[in-house]
Chain A
Amino acid sequence: MPIIETFGLSRHFGKTAAVEDLTLTIEAGEVLGFLGPNGAGKTTTIRMLAGMIAPTKGYAIVAGHRTDRDIEQLHEVVGMLTQTPGLYDRLSARRNLEYFASFYPSIEPQSQVAKYLKIMGLWERRDSKVGTLSKGMKQRLALARALVHEPKVLFLDEPTAGLDPEAAGEVRRLIRTLREEGRTIFLSTHNLTEAEVVCSRIAVIHTRLLALDTPEQLRRRFFRRQIIVQLEALDAQVMEIVKRLPFVQDVREEGSQLILELTDSERNRPELVKAIVEAGGRVIGVSEKQYPLEDVYLRLIREENQNES
């Protein structure tokens, strides 16, 4: 069941288009990674979907609410983690959460606050002033704030930006836990590894939507599947046999490795291994060549820049 639907969603600031004709559907329980360079419209999209700013064209429906009309009801069912934690430094962690929780009619603030302080690992520091917490702790507290009213959709705007690797890892672990709980998460990030680790689908935006698919499908869109056969040693006889196999479309050698493109990578793999072994080759391992998501992303952005110019 779709929980986020956008229909030609656009936002212009004066004559500048921040987001243009964005149409996408996100299913309940999905974690969507929203990637794009600086100024690509990621934050503007999140703000439109969270009912913080209105679109100049098109519309969006989030958890059953029009984001440009039912704003108050929408705010009861969405949670938002902004780029800066935006907490009150002179208030304690608990008091900060209680304050924000008090605006939601459907929850019991104190028990919810206790629950999320514990989940975020901040229970021991509940009475510490926020100003004394580390950056990572503040970010976890801000994440607790976004979750305290049990939102149906969670918008995370660069949740690990500016955090050290340990703190970023901790935030990522929490996002993965939320994914396992079946939460719908809209994650804007610059970090491609993060997107790959936590997201079920990836959207790449550069003012307009360039691609939307699973990381695997995005890879296949740009790169053909390649099989790597690691051999103890590569000799001419093995190479000759492999080249003659009818399902081998392309083969090249890299040290003691064979890099192959097969007609059907799944079905042809056992026959390939058998042929190599029969030709006297000693196979150490067979794997699929993994192109990093970064390559896909860079290619998409490069193509878009070329189209623009």
Chain B
Amino acid sequence: MSRRRIRNILLKEWTLLFTDLNSAFLITLVPFLIVGQGILYIWLASKFAGGSMLTTQVFQTALQKLVVAIPGVAQLPANEQLLVLLLSQFNFFLLLIPTMIAISVATFSIVEEKLSGSLEGLLATPVKTWELLLGKALAGAIPALVVTWLSAGVFLVVVSGLGWGHLTGFVVTAGWFLTLFLLTPAVAALSFMLGVTGSSRAKDARSAQNTVLVIIFPVLALIGIQVTGIIWFTPSLILVLALVIIIADFITLRTAVRLFRRESIVVQWR
């Protein structure tokens, strides 16, 4: 029964999501902006700063760690070493896509139903709180995940188009796949779970958005940590990180169910 209910929540949410021009536009626009922006920065850095960037202490440390992780990079000219270093950050950069979409989509999911009065009718059915929250979180997380994977594909196509295709072998590693197919789904689920939780507790979408903002900072920190050479995320480290976030997903869902106060929703939203 739970599977049927969650599937129905998903289908309903998708119908509403894709018939709302703003949401559909956002899901298309955010990945475009993030991929475009990332590639633009890398192109600008390689074009105008080039290999000279690597002389700075920060990039030196990062490059040393990159070479340890992927020894073949050492054979490349300085300019291409810089490119590999920057392109290797892109899988983490893509994590911003689900988090950004969650800020705009998930945070509205419960607040909107509170305002329209449909939530009271829904809570009068035998739906369980966890089914409702999981359904709503997945309804946003799945499309966000799909567009993130599409963006990764677009990224590789653009990288080849810019004449960097021969470097993709250094970028598309086991770590890349682990990030894309394990870490990204975990982060997407966490972002949407936080968004839905915020939405169920908040009085308006804006205050719900603040809840999801907390996840953007760790994502940015991941990029910062790696690009400055503090830690190089090897496949095993990414695996550990993904597992930690998956555990956080379950904890967040349990917490969300506890924080979801049906009574306050019914009494305070009329």
- What is A's interface to B at a CB cutoff of 8 Å? 13, 47, 50, 52-54, 72-73, 75-76, 78-80, 82-91, 95, 99-100, 102-105, 142, 145
Report if A86-B126 is in contact (Cβ < 8 Å); known contacts: A52-B263, A53-B267, A103-B5: no
Residues 216-269 (chain B) with a chain A CB within 8 angstroms:
262-263, 266-267
**Among the listed A53, A79, A88, A104, which residue makes an inter-chain contact with B12, where contact means beta carbons less than 8 Å apart?**
A88
* CA A50 to CA B1, docked complex, whole Å: 22
Contacting pair A52 B15 (CB below 8 A): no
Q: A47 vs B124: C-alpha distance in the bound complex, in angstroms?
A: 9
Q: List 14 A-B contacts (CB under 8 A).
A: A52-B263, A52-B266, A53-B263, A76-B126, A78-B124, A86-B118, A87-B118, A88-B16, A90-B19, A91-B16, A102-B4, A102-B8, A103-B8, A142-B121
Quick check: A86 and B266 within 8 Å, CB to CB? no
B123 interfacial contact with A, CB 8 Å: yes
**CB distance B266 to A89 under 8 Å?**
no
Report how far A87 CA is from B117 CA in the complex, Å.
Answer: 7
CB pair B12 A52 closer than 8 Å: no
Q: Is there a chain A Cβ closer than 8 Å to B154's Cβ?
A: no
Residue contact B124 to A50, C-beta cutoff 8 Å: yes
Q: Which residues of A contact B16 (CB under 8 A)?
A: 88, 90-91
Answer yes or no: B270 CB below 8 A from chain A CBs: yes
Contact B118 A47 (CB under 8 A): no
The distance from the CB of A137 to the nearest CB of chain B, in whole angstroms, is 16
Closest approach, in angstroms, between the C-beta of A193 and any C-beta of chain B?
25
Q: With A and B bound together, what is the CA distance between A206 and B247 in angstroms?
A: 51
- Cβ contacts under 8 Å, A104 to chain B: 125-126
Within 8 Å of chain A (Cβ to Cβ): is B122? yes
Scan residues 1-53 of chain B and give those whose CB is less than 8 A from a CB of chain A. Answer: 1, 4-5, 8, 12, 15-16, 19-20
Closest residue on chain A to residue B128 by CB atoms: A72
From B1, B19, B121, B266, residue with most partner A Cβ within 10 Å = B121
Bound-state Cα–Cα, A52 to B19, Å: 31
Given contact pairs A52-B123, A52-B262, A78-B124, enumerate 17 new A-B contacts (beta carbons under 8 Å). A47-B267, A53-B266, A83-B270, A84-B270, A85-B117, A86-B117, A88-B12, A88-B116, A90-B19, A90-B20, A99-B8, A100-B125, A102-B8, A103-B8, A103-B126, A104-B126, A142-B121
Q: Give the distance to chain A from B120, nearest Cβ to Cβ, in Å.
A: 5
Closest A residue to B8 by beta carbon equals A102
Say how far B71's CB is from chain A's closest CB, in angstroms. Answer: 55
Q: Which residue of B lies closest to A149 (CB)?
A: B125
A87, closest chain B residue (CB)? B118
Residues of B within 8 A of A87 (CB): 118, 121
Which of B1, B119, B124, B126 has most chain A Cβ within 10 Å? Answer: B124
A95 touches B15 (CB 8 A): yes
Smallest Cβ distance from B9 to chain A, in angstroms? Answer: 8
Nearest residue (CB) in B for A52 is B266
The answer to whether B121 touches A86, judged by C-beta atoms less than 8 angstroms apart, is yes
A158 to B154, CA, bound (A): 55
Chain B residues with Cβ below 8 Å from A91 are: 12, 15-16
Q: Which residue of B lies closest to A102 (CB)?
A: B8
User: With the chains together, A75 CA to B121 CA distance in Å?
Assistant: 11
Contact B116–A86 (Cβ < 8 Å): yes
* Contact yes or no, B121 A82, CB < 8 A: yes
Q: Once the chains bind, are A100 and B15 in contact (CB under 8 Å)?
A: no
B121-148 CB mask vs A (1 if < 8 Å, else 0) is 1111111100000000000000000000
Query: In chain A, what residue has the closest Cβ to B17?
Result: A90
Q: Which residue of B lies closest to A73 (CB)?
A: B126
Q: How far is the CA of A292 from the CA of B120 in the complex (A)?
A: 35
